[in-house]
Structure 1
Amino acid sequence: MSAGAGPHSASEYIIHHLHPLAVGEGFWTLHLDTMFFSLALGVLFLWLFRKAAINATSGVPGPLQNFCEILVEFVDGQVKDSFHGHNPVIAPLALTIFVWVFLWNTMDLLPVDLLPAIGQLIGIPYLRVVPSTDLNSTFGLSISVLCLIYYYSIKVKGGGGFAHEVLGHPFGIKAAPANLLLRIVEDLAKPISLALRLFGNLYAGELIFILIALLPWWVQPLLGWPWAVFHILVITLQAFIFMTLTIVYLSMAHEDH
């Protein structure tokens, strides 16, 4: 689909590209395109790293092995700098989050009409291809991080220690109601900030690409290429921020004092 086909106005064109392929109603609405692309990109991540692991050599490494080793060393360095506990799960978790979110964001660099046009050819009316532009996916990932924070907080500190931390920090146990209120605000802020930061940046980036696609064809390369180059930094930075904050939050959950 192009700007001149399908929807007849600029607003219809924008709405069409930002409309998810959904089934169900209300709370039980499922965004099938977000689920499909998230799963497909997750499988791609696992396949690439498994292939690199199987073909790994101590001699001259290939491009894929070099790339995977650079990523692993980079993430491992971030974990060593930010995580002060002892947990063998944190580094693989951080690597998964970074690569998976980066792959989500990379879909934003595809031509905005490419996959939706292919989808229309096979009878799919709507297709939103960037999982990061769906608030459900970013909140789902951030809520998963929050669940891990609670899990490790209770595991490391114990039920009593966790309860004492929630009710006794920062003003002492006598101010338990105020401490609990502050803790609720703090815990709500973590997934909300993680989800909205990622969603807002990628949604805005996708919207700019859509607006560029509405311009005359001879103007699109002049604006599209510079924005795509700049957007490469944005998508990498957002994946890095999500990963780093996850490491920091889990490090705080492992503090037993």
Structure 2
Amino acid sequence: MAAGNEVSTTYYIQHHLQNLTFGHHPVNGWSLAHSAEEAVEMGFWAIHLDTMGWSIAMGLLFIWLFRKAGKAATTGVPGGLQNAVEMVVEFIENLTRSTFHGRNPHIAPLALTLFVWILFMNALKILPVDYGPVLFSKLGVDYMKIVPTTDVNATLGMALGVFGLILYYNFKVKGVGGFARELSLTPFNHWALIPFNLVLEIVSLLVKPFSLAMRLFGNMFAGEVIFILIAMLPFWAIWILDVPWAIFHILVVTLQAFIFTVLTVVYLSAAHEHH
């Protein structure tokens, strides 16, 4: 490949993987600042505006669709939207009943919210990779990543929220003493092995949000990179590869939303168990 092509290829990939950032960011640069000095003045913390915007938009879409289905629900012949919503609700209800072994009326709504919200955010990946950047460039916006789950900040934020609930229910159900005994006397119920148990259990506890976040991010980001690489091929090759990969990715999009949801329910179920 010629040097000029290498530069253009590198720029194309970097441009599509760049977030619209407000504030100083040591990796992604300064998307809304005209100079390094101006970016530093804006502060150390950075906000990925596209990740925030699209994730909020998908959340609002979820609320609007389910509210619309609820208001239009009928005992007669249901419409297409009501059928789809009832299928998703029944699926999550069965998942929660088979996976969650405690008594908590909030777990099923939480699982439903996570599954549909992540599914909607992942589904944005089905749109051609050039549509978002090209459309927003005409509006004067330099960068636009429309899939929030390809940003580790989004997936880690959701995972930390789940981690907070894990800690909350561990303390609420077991109490401070019960949770401390579980950490110190599991898996080996002997006082001499308390230091070993603590290290093992604390590491296991901290790995949960990290694995949740990185699994979702890694799969979505890898798929995005492949879409970008396909988009760089000749026009005739794009349709040969892009359509099958997009069809296959429908499964990946749904599967990753399901995995994040079911692991969340499993972790919260463990938090409700008495040992």
- TM-score, with structure 2 as normaliser: 0.89
Rounded to whole Å, the distance in 2 between the matches of 1:249 and 1:234 is: 22
Residues 1:78 and 2:78 aligned together: no
Residue of structure 2 equivalent to 1:241:
259
Aligned to 1:214: 232
User: What code does the residue aligned with 1:255 have?
Assistant: E
**In 1, Cα distance between equivalents of 2:217 and 2:164:** 20
Shift of 1:188: 1.7
| Unaligned runs of at least 5 residues, structure 2 | 1-5, 26-43
Q: Give the residue type in structure 2 aligned to 1:13.
A: Y
SS of equivalent residue, structure 1 residue 241: helix
1:220 partner letter: I
Q: CA deviation at 1:23?
A: 1.4
Q: Would you say 1:189 and 2:207 are equivalent positions?
A: yes
Matches within 5 A, 1:8-157: 9-26=8-25, 28-157=45-174
Residue 115 (structure 1) shift: 1.4
**Does structure 2 conserve the Cα–Cα contact (< 8 Å) formed by 1:19 and 1:127?**
yes
CA distance in 1, matches of 2:75, 2:183: 49
- The alpha carbon displacement at 1:8 in A equals 6.1
Deviations 1:3-29 (A, max 9, x none): xxxx96111101000000111225611
In 1, Cα distance between equivalents of 2:107 and 2:271? 12
Partner deviation per Cα, 1:122-159 (whole Å, 9 max, x = no partner): 11100011111100001111111111001011111111
Unmatched 5+ stretches in structure 1: 1-6
Per-residue deviation, 1:164: 1.2
Higher relative contact order at CA 8 Å, sep ≥6: structure 1 or structure 2?
A: 1
1:4 corresponds to: none
Query: Is 1:180 aligned to 2:198, yes or no?
Result: yes
Corresponding residue of 2:34: none
> 2:218 & 2:7 partners in 1: Cα distance?
27
Q: Does 1:163 align with 2:162?
A: no
SS in 2 for 1:9: helix
Q: How many residue pairs get matched? A: 251
Determine the structure 1 residue equivalent to 2:222.
204
The one-letter amino acid of 2:227's match is F
Moved over 4 A (4+): none
Map Cα deviations across residues 180-214 of structure 1 (whole Å, 9 max, x no partner).
11112101211111111111111010111111111
Q: Tell me, yes or no, if the aligned pair for 1:167 and 1:173 is still in contact at 8 Å.
A: no
Identity of aligned residues (%): 56
Letter in 2 for 1:151: Y
Deviation string, structure 1 residues 69-92 (Cα, Å, up to 9, x no partner) = 000000100001100001110000
> TM-score, structure 1 length as denominator?
0.95
Q: Secondary structure at the match of 1:28?
A: coil
